[in-house]
Chains A and B, each alone.
Chain A
Amino acid sequence: MVLNPKDNKNPMNFRTKNFLRKRFQDYYNSTDLAMPHDFIRREWGFIFFDQMPEVVMRRHKAFSSGGEAAEYIRGMVPAHLYHSAAYYEYPGAGTMKEKQWQGADLIFDLDADHLPQVPRSYAEMLDNVKNETMKLLDFLLDDFGFTEDVISIVFSGGRGYHIHVHDPKVLSLESAERREIVDYVSGTGLMTDFLFKPAKHKVYAEGKFGKKQLESSKRISSFDDVTGGFGWGKRISQYIIHFMKDISQKNREEAVNEMVELIRDYQSKKVSTHHISPDKEELIIRMKTEDDKMGLKRIADAVRIPVDDVRNVLIKNNLMNFKRETTVKLNKIRNMAQNPKALEMIGKKGMIDDPYIFDAVVEKAIENNSINLGSAHTDEPVTADIKRLIRMPSSLHGGSGMKVVPLTLPEFKKFEPLNDAVVFSSREIDIEVISPLKPRNSKVEMKGKSFTVSEGINTLPEYAAIYLMCRGAAEYA
């Protein structure tokens, strides 16, 4: 979706529209409008102040020169400006078929709405989405090997960032092929069976009865040729190390509880008890509830099924006490976290030798490293939509009055949206905050300052006043 209509449900009166239009025009007149790469072959779309708050997109527009585009924008002063990610033979044609698709940039839309965290403020929301963008950039640079010069990072002017990749190799990718890229970065369809291969080296545990080879030590396959691995394998091994260090620093009770929860969640999702007859299942449950101390082996002998099946039934029915098991494992993890050699085996060589704990941690690692793109979790096909329109970099966002800022990677790292995307002056003006005032609009944090407004007339610096008017929370007074 190109514009979130819920941004702006309140009517906007004629005076407000005129004021905003005038100030947007001043901005466009004073700015050297940088045109997107190969803009002649792109379709353009606009939403004008006149129809707002209705969202009416005028699309199928094309420009043959930068001067023509700038003249149109300065003359018409749209509230929102978009161009296609796609390149067409006839970008101005009225139907997709007639346009003749010739390729499209690879686009990622990172929106705070797609993130699981619930932020306490707009600033925090923007911080979260910036971190998510950083994670995605790591995928694009390291895994996909795009060079910095083909990636542009754009602050959307609203709740997130857009990434445009215009590497010639990606332009012709079709929708299903782009979906594979989305699945890669969002952790969708990752199967750990393919991530590991049986280790070449045997791993032993030293115990009372001498050395014992552990059941199934395995190795992350991307560590075969490269120390430290790469791709998902590298992320997972690093997360495991982070997890080990983190849990070792917690107090004992907290650490045990966290481990129990982790293991229980993982195991109860994994086990299947379909093949066990309901009678036997019921018997197992009864035996365990009657005598909590009864061991798995005794139950198994009594019911005459394998120990593992008894275990699975108990896990499924939440009767399994993981505390003793996990306490032993926790001790092991703590020892490993102290031991540089053990950490090196994981971090440098990719050897994972205790599936009991680490399978559960791997699952967490995947969840933690996955990028939350709208398209992966909802039906919104952003990256896979090869005909989508995207906000024009350097234009103004009509729902916030902030600038859609194109950034290089070093610029992005230093970028502070609530300061650097603010273009209007600090001259004070009056606005009338209209009722009902939503809590999220009652406080505006911009340019390092914080303004609290209430319904009725308020005096604010122009940039904050324009922000509230664009959001539909205030009228020009």
Chain B
Amino acid sequence: MDVLDFANFPFTNCALRYVEGLDFQLDELFSELAFEGVRVRGKERVLQAMGDGIAKPDISDETDAKMELLSYPVARILVSCINDTFLTRRYSLAEAKSAHELFKNLSLASLKELASDFNIDITIGEHISGIHFTDYVRFAVREPGWKLINRNMDHGTVQISNKEFARIMEEAARKRIESNLPADVPPGICTVLEDAILEIRGEMEARRTEFSIDGFKEIMPDCFPPCVVHALSGASSGVNLTHTMRFALTSFLLNIGMNVDGIIDLFNVSPDFDEEKTRYQVMHIQGATGTAYKSPSCSTMLTYGNCIGKDSVCERISHPLGYYSKKAWLTGKGKDDEIKDRVLQDRTKTLDKT
């Protein structure tokens, strides 16, 4: 890989070493007029991350490449100065996603180099590659077709297509970027970047209020994830749900604020309905005994065969509750962050401690 590749994959160790080898000081990046373009691009990365994704510019020469490469540390420092969990995640994902498009065009040799930069043990072939299962499970997508048990694995090597390898690299990149944020920022630099920070904060605020409708009090069935819709239609037509699905459904509905009686009514069509027993179970899940249960994550749903397949929103979340708030946000029904905070954290304090 050369500097043109580093510009596209600035989160690699090779790129980092290259930057460290350049002849300038970090603070010049934030003070010198010559780096004005780099700073603008750095801010743009963060703004684009909140919007439609980070667009990669056309790079024709080494100077362009260096500018693009250096804008990455600027963006990281901006994100670190702001130090907001939501922004950090969003930004890391956007960086990884924009690199993903470019993984596909790399030569086999460069892919190999990239994999070893991430310590990924892989034998790359023309169409099919063999990756060690430990690296595979670290970065695999959480959906049925990606479960280890649904892959061909022989003596520790999992077969993947090169398209899947690109997806694995995206996840590896996302994890690396996110785990290194927030970075330690030398004192004073955040102050120097104040204008850019204000602009980003303004944008964050705008995104938060843009779709805001009065709170999140009503239940919004059209925002339910596919697994919940499926289970509900089963429950309401009298199909006996499995124990794990019953738990998942009940905890989900409780977590989004549905009341106990409403949920009991849902189960009232089961052939073996026993109101007292159902009430006891629902209240137990609600936290009558001191432990409030959080509804299971997508990977747990998958494990028990309760995931019926992903739709486009599922691609962007890892928890049915995340689906609900994301969908509400997308359809303009609630404040994404508020919902996320409320749903994912408050209701489940007790469980997370254990």
Contact = CB atoms under 8 A, between A and B. Distances in A.
B154 A143 contact: yes
A234 B292 CA distance: 44
A400 B303 CA distance: 36
B144 interface: yes
Nearest to A189: B147
A12 B153 CA distance: 51
B148 A221 contact: no
B129 to A, nearest CB: 14
A183 B151 CA distance: 12
Interface string B117-158: 000010000000000111001101000110111111111110
A75 to B, nearest CB: 34
A181 B140 CA distance: 13
Contacts of B121: 169
B138 A173 contact: yes
A190 B150 CA distance: 6
B161 interface: no
Contacts of A183: 147-149, 303
A408 B99 CA distance: 47
A180 B154 contact: no
B145 A194 contact: yes
A136 B121 CA distance: 25
B235 interface: no
A189 B149 contact: yes
Given A173-B137, A180-B147, A181-B148, A188 B303 contact: yes
B152 A189 contact: no
A231 B138 contact: no
Interface in A300-351: none
A173 B136 CA distance: 11
Interface string B204-243: 0000000000000000000000000000000001000000
A233 B152 contact: yes
Residue among A144, A190, A230, A232 having the largest count of chain B Cβ atoms under 10 Å: A144
B137 A230 contact: no
B144 A189 contact: yes
B344 interface: no
Given A169-B134, A173-B137, A189-B303, A145 B157 contact: yes
Interface residues of B, number: 26
B149 A187 contact: yes
Contact of B299 (A176, A181, A226): A176
Nearest to B302: A189
B154 A231 contact: yes
Contact of A177 (B132, B137, B149, B150): B137
Contacts of B156: 143-146
A230 B147 contact: no
A338 to B, nearest CB: 31
A187 B149 CA distance: 7
Contact of B303 (A145, A179, A195, A222): A179
B202 interface: no
Interface string A213-240: 0000000011000100011110000000
A387 to B, nearest CB: 12
A205 interface: no
Contacts of B138: 173, 177
B134 A170 contact: yes
A231 B153 contact: yes
B37 interface: no
A267 B324 CA distance: 35
B305 interface: yes
B155 A142 contact: yes
A189 B155 CA distance: 21
Contacts of B144: 189, 191, 194
Contacts of B299: 176, 179
A190 B151 CA distance: 9
A146 B134 CA distance: 12
Contacts of B148: 180-181, 183-184
Given A179-B303, A183-B303, A145 B152 contact: no
A325 to B, nearest CB: 27
B157 A181 contact: no
A427 interface: no
Residue among A189, A221, A231 having the largest count of chain B Cβ atoms under 10 Å: A189
A211 interface: no
Nearest to A141: B155
B154 A189 contact: no
Contacts of A233: 152
B137 A181 contact: yes
Interface in A155-206: 169-170, 173, 176-177, 179-181, 183-184, 187-191, 194-195
Contacts of B154: 142-143, 145, 222, 226, 230-231
Interface string B294-333: 0000010011110000000000000000000000000000
A472 B152 CA distance: 49
B149 A232 contact: yes
A97 interface: no
A173 B148 CA distance: 14
A184 B149 CA distance: 5
Contacts of A230: 152-155
A45 to B, nearest CB: 18
By Cβ-Cβ distance, the 3 closest A-B pairs, closest first, are A145-B156, A145-B155, A194-B150
Given A173-B137, A233-B152, 17 more contacts: A143-B153, A144-B155, A145-B157, A169-B134, A170-B134, A177-B137, A177-B138, A179-B303, A180-B140, A183-B147, A183-B148, A187-B149, A188-B304, A189-B304, A189-B305, A195-B150, A274-B237
13 contacts: A142-B155, A144-B153, A145-B154, A145-B156, A170-B134, A179-B299, A189-B302, A189-B305, A191-B144, A194-B144, A226-B154, A230-B154, A274-B237
